[in-house]
A and B are shown apart, each in its own frame.
Chain A
Amino acid sequence: MTSRERVLAALEHREPDRVPVDLWLTAEAYRNLRSYLGMPVKETYPPGSTTWSMDCRAELDLVERLGVDIVRIGSRPPGGKGLTWLPDGTCVDEWGVRRRKVEFKTGTYLEIIDPPLKDATIEDLNDYPWPDPHDPAVVEGLREQARFIRENTPYAIHAQFGRGGIYEQAKYLRGEEQLYMDCAMNPEFVLALHEKLCQIEMEFNRVGIEAIGEYVDILRLSPEDLGTQTSTQLSPRMHEEMVRPFFKRSFGEAKRLLQEKNPRGKIQYHSCGAIYPLMRGLIDDGMDIFDPLQLRCKDFEPARLKADFGSDITFLGGIDVQQTLPLGTPAEVREEVRVRIKEMAPGGGYILASSHRLQPDIPPANVLAMYEAAKEYGKYPIKL
């Protein structure tokens, strides 16, 4: 079975030869991992899911070395230049969101300062310089890349074209706390902003699908975090009114367009946090794959999710980046992989990966332990 066949079987809820695995990580974690494996280490790597997120896409040599089954590709920022760095050391992305570097013990994150729409009115949204999904740089070289992977490698192709999302990008543009207050007190503004962002997200997806849809096995929509560690961010009622109508449109349209080009193509959606009460709605609106399965969140016990939603969707993720991978021993990582496969893998519908990007605090030995254990315990039929 090739990697792609393995992934497609899992997505179609058939048991492949073994549980497929995916890789998602920050650029710092990527360099750590390559260095640990004695592979060439460069300063920069293929940019990740958004302009600012400081993740990267693993190159084929590492995918092969770890036995990963999926290659991630995606759009580029309009203009092709990524972040614009200013003399004061801050940077601006294609949305006009400014960030500064914040250093922690093992790396650096970019964190938002001064959200550009914090004082905006609905009228201001018309004049804002929105990113242009039709900028030629967005899909430049993408078709050649996708064709190369399909023709020369055994891997499934995972693509993300959206560059920020709807509710998620609204938080960045407006400021998270302000957006929450808007949801409570200024819902018309939230609806107007979401409408604008929904159109942009859908257009990025349309342009990407047009360019390479027939090669895309998994289309990941822009990530949209709906949860905290212990609950949904918005009440389910508010979510229904202010977020879900836009998701329904965006998911439905992306799926329709993708499946016109590739009838077996699937839609992947990401949310952090404890969003159990929203799962059924996401499934009804077209989600095929849910990532990243953050098992330490409230009501997010993997076995429960598998029992309640496992026949409808595929789960991608599930190996804990909050405790086990950064703080555990390789033996503890192996045990977590064993338990997760036992819970999630029967009948297919599971792709094993970390429960968020691999972070710079995760020892490479634990990453290797995760992939090795996935191969060892992941052989079907699962007998654990």
Chain B
Amino acid sequence: MEILREIERAVIDGKVRDIEGVVQKALDTGLEAHSILDGALAVGMLEVGRRFREGEYFLPEVVSSANAMKKAIKLLEPYLAGKTAREPVGKMVIGTVKGDVHDIGKNLVAIMFQGAGFEVLDLGVDVKPDRFVQAISELGPDVVGMSALLSTTMVSITDTIEAIKASGLRSQVKIIIGGAPVTQEFADRVGADGYAPDAASAVEKARELLRLDA
């Protein structure tokens, strides 16, 4: 459908200013919010993720796309609420760990997961271990994502995983970690289930851990 392709292009081109108009037009023609989300926004974000991973897109492009996507989702939210039409692929809780307020990378991961059909609860930045535990027990996510930009704050990932273990909830979630100093070796050592070097691969890693076949 032409209007869906137009919305998809608005995500890919990061049309932060124009996207709401196009989405509204689609709603006005009677399209279901879910069809717009799945048939246009998610498809566009998938392409953005591919371009980012393959070095065609850089931060300006991907941050613009993410913000366009966010605006579109915000507009759709009232229409999505209360509908049982669509089950999320999975649920995710994500945050930048305690002591760290860097969130550009974390925000990109969150939006990529939304694009991939996950229900995402973004806890924000400087998130204490207890807050992660509380969100896990309340939402029952499949995936927990944690981010840190610095070696000095990376230790909060360790503390958070320990707190999740102590709460007895560890076996219920897959934990994926990322951020500049984070490595696979660190992930193994602190008992995370996965590590991803960038936002697009984080989604792939989650799908692999949850055994969701494409």
| A residues neighboring B (CB under 8 Å) | 102-107, 109, 111, 176-177, 180-181, 183-185, 228-235, 238, 296, 321-323, 326-327, 359-361
Contacts and interface: CB of A to CB of B under 8 A. Distances in A.
B151 A180 contact: no
Contact of A321 (B17, B98, B105, B151): B151
Contacts of A184: 14, 60-61, 63-64
Contact of A234 (B16, B58, B150, B183): B58
B101 interface: yes
Interface of B: 14, 16-17, 55, 57-61, 63-64, 67, 98-101, 104-105, 107, 126, 150-153, 155-156, 159, 180-181, 183, 186, 197-198
B104 A177 contact: yes
Nearest to A107: B152
A183 B17 CA distance: 15
Contacts of B60: 180-181, 183-184, 234-235, 238
Residue of B14, B107, B153, B197 contacting most chain A CB atoms (<10 Å)? B153
A150 B104 CA distance: 44
A102 B100 contact: yes
B55 to A, nearest CB: 7
Contacts of A360: 152
A104 B51 CA distance: 35
A224 B104 CA distance: 18
A361 B158 CA distance: 14
Contacts of A322: 151, 180-181
A234 B59 contact: yes
A107 B14 CA distance: 38
B99 A228 contact: no
11 contacts: A102-B101, A105-B152, A107-B152, A111-B101, A177-B63, A183-B60, A185-B64, A232-B58, A235-B61, A322-B181, A359-B150
A331 to B, nearest CB: 17
Nearest to A235: B58
Nearest to A277: B55
Contacts of B153: 104-105
Contacts, number: 92
Contacts of A228: 59, 105, 180
Given A104-B100, A238-B60, 17 more contacts: A104-B98, A104-B156, A106-B155, A109-B99, A181-B16, A181-B60, A181-B64, A185-B17, A229-B180, A229-B197, A230-B198, A233-B59, A234-B60, A296-B181, A326-B151, A327-B151, A361-B151
A81 B198 CA distance: 41
A372 B180 CA distance: 28
Nearest to B153: A104
B15 to A, nearest CB: 9
Contacts of B61: 184, 235
A327 B156 CA distance: 14
The 10 closest A-B pairs by CB, nearest first: A104-B99, A184-B60, A322-B181, A183-B60, A229-B180, A180-B63, A180-B60, A235-B58, A184-B64, A111-B101
A235 B54 CA distance: 12
Contacts of A230: 197-198
Given A184-B61, A185-B64, A105 B104 contact: no
Contacts of B64: 180-181, 184-185
A235 B63 CA distance: 13
A327 B152 CA distance: 10
Nearest to B181: A322
B203 to A, nearest CB: 16
A184 B152 CA distance: 32
B152 A176 contact: no
Nearest to B149: A229
Nearest to B63: A180
Nearest to B55: A231
A12 B136 CA distance: 58
A296 B150 CA distance: 13
Contacts of A105: 99, 152-153, 155-156, 159
Contacts of A185: 14, 16-17, 64
A323 B152 contact: no
Residue of B60, B100, B197 contacting most chain A CB atoms (<10 Å)? B60
Residue of B16, B63, B155, B183 contacting most chain A CB atoms (<10 Å)? B63
A181 B61 CA distance: 7
A230 B62 CA distance: 14
A20 B18 CA distance: 55
B66 to A, nearest CB: 9
A231 B59 CA distance: 9
Contact of B104 (A102, A176, A229, A359): A176
A185 B64 CA distance: 8
A102 B99 contact: yes
A181 B63 contact: yes
Residue of B57, B180, B186 contacting most chain A CB atoms (<10 Å)? B180
Nearest to A298: B197
Contact of B99 (A103, A180, A231, A238): A103
Nearest to A242: B60
A105 B154 CA distance: 10
Contacts of A327: 151
Nearest to B126: A102
Contacts of B100: 102, 104
Contacts of A238: 58, 60
B181 A323 contact: yes
Nearest to A187: B60
